[in-house]
Amino acid sequence: MIFRKSFQQELSRTFSATLVVLATVVMTMMLIRTLGLASKGSVNPEEIFLIMAYSVMGHVPTILALSLFITAVSTLARMIGDSEVAVWFSSGQSLASFAHPLLAFALPIFLTIAVMAFMIWPFANEQMQNMRVRFEQRGDLERIVPGEFQESSNGKRVIYIGKESADSARAGSAAALSARHIFMAYFDQDKELITSAQSGHLEDINGYRYIVLTTGQQLTLNNINQDVSLTEFESMGNLVGASSTSSGLGPPNTRSTLTLLQDSRLDNQGELSWRIGIVLAALNLILIALVSASTKPRAARSGHLMFAMLVFVSYYNFINITQNWIASGRIGFVPAVLLLHGSIFGISLVWLARRHYYP
């Protein structure tokens, strides 16, 4: 009882301090990243802190898993360095005896990681996606002023409507709904498109927003072979983004876990493997921290932190690689999960048994 209580108290203190430090670092990184997106025109500057909050919420599973791993490694390393482990060993405890209080302490954290990965992660990503889409639509269309050139947020499209559309612009976004004398220029690495039309309006078709132009012409310049072509049209649609009323699924990381389970597409399976993988990784990392605890009291005290970061980064990258392989069809969902997480779990158990019986 004394052994378990003292060990878990040490884990609690170390975990709290580690979590605060990592959360501060991640919040700072997310703030810098969000400011960069705002400066590029990808997000609304007025929603910077809201986007940052959703970003941090989405990274909570990773933060918790890393904090738990560093806590286990640091606590065991300190106890070994101060010869506390040797005292417990001499009192009849073994390395396997540390597993029960360590897993009991980590169980609530495992559950929190699971809830955050399966529920909060897609919710946060969906909210960020919706805010980004709303801002892009507002920036490219609703802010168009008759008689002025308007550049899109990605810098590839320029739109101009005639001043005679000013009457329709008085209603705010109505300028983007119906206009006359439209000029559009699209620039890409492979081609350039210059389009002019007498009139145009917006339409939502199959969840996507189009500018439908009537009575005009389009000049196409192929930058690869320098071919030039001129096309006249009576009606032509130009895709400008997703509809504000679109009910599409969106990217895989915005879909609910129930949707991923019901729809067995490859991208859904890849996303599901990531969410399951971050939970299984937390368990495997605890076992790795336990079995890899050094019994050399004179070893460098900062070495355990370098080891923890190296192992976590490697494991996390393997999870992302596995997700990409599943999404591309290179490997099945079940074999990938068993191969990555099952093999690490099995090796950790064998390693723990070996150190338990042959310390």
φ/ψ of residue 116, rounded to 5: -65, -40
The predicted model gives 213-231 an average pLDDT of: 86
Contacts of 277 (CB under 8 A, 6+ apart): 319, 322, 323, 337, 340, 341
- CA proximity to 136, closest of 230, 226, 241, 217: 241
- As a 3-state breakdown, the chain gives helix, strand, coil percent values, each rounded to 5, of 65, 15, 20
C-alpha span between 336 and 70 (Å, rounded):
26
For strands 228-242 and 208-222, give the pairing: antiparallel
Dihedral angle over CA of 218, 223, 226, 232, nearest 10? -10
Per-residue pLDDT of 48-65, as tens digits, reads: 888 888 999 999 999 999
Tens of pLDDT, residue by residue over 248-293, are 467 899 999 999 999 888 999 999 999 999 999 999 999 898 888 7
- pLDDT tens for residues 117-132? 999 999 999 998 888 7
State which amino acid sits at residue 100: H
The 10s digit of each residue's pLDDT in 292-316 is 875 555 555 567 778 888 999 999 9
Give residue-wise pLDDT tens across range 166-196. Answer: 444 444 443 445 677 888 888 877 788 888 8
- Summarize the confidence of residues 102-116 as an average pLDDT: 93
Cα separations in angstroms, 228 against 193, 217, 222? 10, 13, 6
Share of the chain above pLDDT 90, in %: 34
- Amino acid present at 90: S
E strand or H helix that includes residue 13: helix 2-40
Segment holding 310, helix H or strand E: helix 303-328
Query: What is the average per-residue pLDDT within 157-164?
Result: 77
The reported pTM is 0.71
